[in-house]
Amino acid sequence: MRVYLVERTARLRARSPWQTMLAAAIAVAISFGTVSDASARRAHRSTQSAVPTAEDERKSDLAGPYVAALLLEPTSGTFIFEKNSHQPWPTASLTKMMVMLIVAEKLRDGSLKLTDQIATSRNASRMGGSQAYLKEGETFTLEEMMQAIVVHSANDASAAVAEYIAGSTDAFVRLMNRRAQQLGMKDSRYYSVHGLPPSPGVEQDVSSAYDCAILGRELIQFPDIVRWSGIDTTPFRAGQFELRNTNHLVRGYRGCDGLKTGFHAKAGFNVVATARRDGMRLIAVVLGSPRKRQNFKEAAQLLSMGFVDYQMKPVAKMGTEVAQSVQVAGGSVGAIKPVYGEDVAVFSRRGNENYPYKIAFKLPQSVAAPLSAGQRIGTAEIAIDGKQVATAPLVAAADVAAKPSLMQRLLGRR
């Protein structure tokens, strides 16, 4: 499904402490399905109705629940909420998100396979912090190593995979920084493959809420990543060890299936969380929370705010016939009406029923038979205020055979 924003969203105002508490209660209720959408919207709007005083804002700045945060609708790239979104911050194990992306892209291009055997070096076996307790010389498949990285945030597995791909962790870090530059992650700089606190004289891995959201947006395109990051628990080393997801939201927030957490003393608690409800996916980033529970609560609150206030408004369903016909040259039928090859929707604020989109069909005057069902014929272009915001394939609804030639017709009469 393709999704696009209809209206511009303004940056949300800072909340006073009582507003934050009320919104948090709403978010918890929404996540477990105990509050209706209508009542949740009314309650959420009440938290925005009172204008915060200068004293409220000053206190919020001094005792904020996090350093930076962001809420993104990834398909349209709409930032629904931002606070200090470009402030560089120690990523801790969010660093592993770039490891995850590089592995996913190499699996896609075929240079890696999930069945590849990854051996543990002495260096990898000596990694501290969160780990799968790999022993030197111990070998696991790439899929097992990636589960250890994504689910359990295993530093030893991250080092082993990096060495397998690039020959050394230093060489892999260069790949990470190169990919970050290609993605336009201007606030990010990697010095490790795991995000552990640096040794003396070594700089710290840093990123921003904005860059983490951009990276998360890339990651959700890969089904393997979403599958791994949505796992609650899974056995490792033939069941001798259990990998438990460090992201508590996969257990307690409806629709959450990723993505990654990170923590060390200087970084505080960091999370990049994604959830999907009613055909809409959102990505929340919360960096620098002083407490783990608070970190997850803030991410859940951001996600719930997005799900309460926004929705997908369908433009067309896959298989819907368009009004325009296309002639078929040499076919068993003279013309066909193409259908949409995928669902198309616009991302809009709830209650905004008059989204001003226009659809233009880009179709040839004729196509040559034979045609196969699902064969692309043209394109539907969706525009808002004269600007193209979406495209969708238009395809043949069914097979169309070529008209028999004169010789075939004559032979068929015998």
Residue 136, C-beta contacts closer than 8 angstroms, at least 6 positions apart: 120, 121, 122, 124, 125
> In the predicted model, what is the mean pLDDT of residues 193-206?
95
Residue 335, C-beta contacts closer than 8 angstroms, at least 6 positions apart: 325, 326, 327, 328
> In the predicted model, what is the mean pLDDT of residues 203-232?
98
pLDDT of residue 50: 35
15 compared with 129, residue with greater pLDDT: 129
Residues forming a β-bridge with 261: 271
Residue 287 lies in a domain: yes
Residues 168 and 286 both lie in one domain? yes
Q: Residues 42-55: pLDDT tens digits? A: 333 333 333 343 33
pLDDT of residue 131: 96
**What percentage of the chain exceeds 90 in pLDDT?**
72
Report yes or no: 269 and 283 within 8 Å, Cβ to Cβ.
no
Residue 16 lies in a domain: no
What CATH code is carried by the domain that includes residue 177?
Answer: 3.40.710.10
> In the predicted model, what is the mean pLDDT of residues 83-101?
98
Residue 255 lies in a domain: yes
Structural domain that includes position 150: 68-310
pLDDT of residue 350: 87
Number of structural domains in the chain: 2
pLDDT of residue 387: 78
3-state DSSP helix/strand/coil percent for the chain, to nearest 5?
35, 30, 35
What CATH code is carried by the domain that includes residue 378?
Answer: 2.60.410.10
Residue 19 lies in a domain: no
Residues 230 and 88 both lie in one domain? yes
Residues 148 and 229 both lie in one domain? yes
Q: Comparing C-alpha atoms, which of 383, 392, 334, 330 is closest to residue 363?
A: 392
User: Which of 291, 310, 329 is the last residue in one of the domains?
Assistant: 310
Residue 42 lies in a domain: no
Residues 153 and 121 both lie in one domain? yes
User: Does residue 258 come out as left (phi exceeding 0), alpha (psi in the -120 to 50 range) or beta?
Assistant: left
Residues forming a β-bridge with 362: 379
Exposure class string for 206-218: b at 16+ Cβ within 10 A, else e: bbbbbbbbbbbbb
The 3-state secondary structure of 204-251, one letter per residue: CCEECHHHHHHHHHHHCCCHHHHHHHCCCEEEECCCCEEEECCCCHHH
pLDDT band at 64 (very low <50, low <70, confident <90, very high): low
Residues 351 and 294 both lie in one domain? no
pTM of the predicted model over 0.85: no
Residues 207 and 292 both lie in one domain? yes
pLDDT of residue 105: 98
User: Which of 282, 310, 338 is the last residue in one of the domains?
Assistant: 310
Residue 111 lies in a domain: yes
Lowest mean pLDDT among 9-18, 125-134, 169-178, 266-275: 9-18
Element containing residue 288 per DSSP (H, E): strand 280-289
Q: Please give the radius of gyration of the chain, using alpha carbons only, rounded to the nearest integer.
A: 25
Q: Residue 389: helix, strand or coil by DSSP?
A: strand
> In the predicted model, what is the mean pLDDT of residues 289-317?
94
Residue 374, C-beta contacts closer than 8 angstroms, at least 6 positions apart: 341, 395, 396
Residue 370 lies in a domain: yes
Q: What is the chain's mean pLDDT, rounded? A: 86
Tokens of 365: 């005057």
Residues 347 and 217 both lie in one domain? no
Q: Residue 407: helix, strand or coil by DSSP?
A: helix
The 3-state secondary structure of 35-95, one letter per residue: CCHHHHHHHHHHHHHCCCCHHHHHHHHHCCCCCEEEEEECCCCEEEEEECCCCCEECHHHH
User: Which of 276, 310, 344 is the last residue in one of the domains?
Assistant: 310
Residues 198 and 81 both lie in one domain? yes
